[in-house]
Amino acid sequence: MDSEPKLSVLFTRDEIAATVSRLAAEIRHDYLDKNPVLIAVLKGSFVFLADLVRQLDFPLEVEFVRLSSYGRGTESSGTVKMAPGALSQIKGRHILVVEDIIDTGLTSAFLLDYLRRRKPASLKFCTLTDKAARRRGPVNIDYRGLAVPDKFIVGYGLDCDERFRNLPDICVLEQ
């Protein structure tokens, strides 16, 4: 039988909460009168989005997309796919993409390109965590949460083979 994976806390729930509050203040400042559409990337962003929107006290809408670049396991397959299912109107709207993590940047570049072609009024990008060391191309991050080292992290929505999304802290999965 496999031994239990070892987890070590990287960011506590309090550090995460402080970061979400900071990002919410920045977003509120920019979107107060814009009725933006926040587009969260499933599944990992669901906890972050839920905490974020409850700190945004102005009109906004929420959409979800499902993308995958990871098969099972911890290495990116390098290609990004979008699950079928239409997003509501993008054209002319102020769009804010909400991500849990940006790693190579392939997922975000794909989604931002997809959205840009649908002619939004504006398009910005928010990520809770940023693993900059592994970036394979430039992605402009408008709202950046926490810098993470080149380790595989889980918790606060992030999984490994569907486990650990429910951890309240962000932890490094020691391989």
Q: How are strands ordered across the β-sheet holding 61-70?
A: 76-82, 61-70, 37-42, 94-102, 122-130, 143-147
The reply to whether 169 sits near ligand 5GP by the rule CB under 6 A is: no
The reply to whether 100 belongs to the active site is no
Q: What share of the chain is helix, strand, coil (3-state, %, to 5)?
A: 25, 35, 40
Least separation in angstroms between residue 157's CB and ligand 5GP is 8
Region binding ligand 5GP by CB under 6 A among candidate stretches 10-18, 55-63, 94-102, 111-119: 94-102
Q: Which of these is catalytic: 100, 103, 161, 169?
A: 103
The reply to whether 107 sits near ligand 5GP by the rule CB under 6 A is: yes
The reply to whether 153 sits near ligand 5GP by the rule CB under 6 A is: yes
The reply to whether 64 sits near ligand 5GP by the rule CB under 6 A is: no
The reply to whether 96 sits near ligand 5GP by the rule CB under 6 A is: no
The CA-CA-CA angle for residues 138, 141, 145, to 5°, reads 130
Task: Say if residues 157 and 127 touch (Cβ distance below 8 Å).
Answer: no
Region binding ligand 5GP by CB under 6 A among candidate stretches 4-12, 18-26, 46-54, 105-113: 105-113
Q: Distance (Å, rounded) from C-alpha 106 to C-alpha 23? A: 23
Binding test (CB under 6 A) with ligand 5GP, winner from 16, 31, 44, 47: 44
Q: Distance (Å, rounded) from C-alpha 96 to C-alpha 112? A: 10
3 state SS of 89: coil
Distances (CA, A) of 127 to 30, 85, 89, 94: 16, 23, 22, 17
Least separation in angstroms between residue 29's CB and ligand 5GP is 26
Q: So which residues are the catalytic ones?
A: 103
| Binding footprint of ligand 5GP on the chain (CB under 6 A) | 41, 44, 69-70, 76, 99-108, 131, 152-154, 158-160
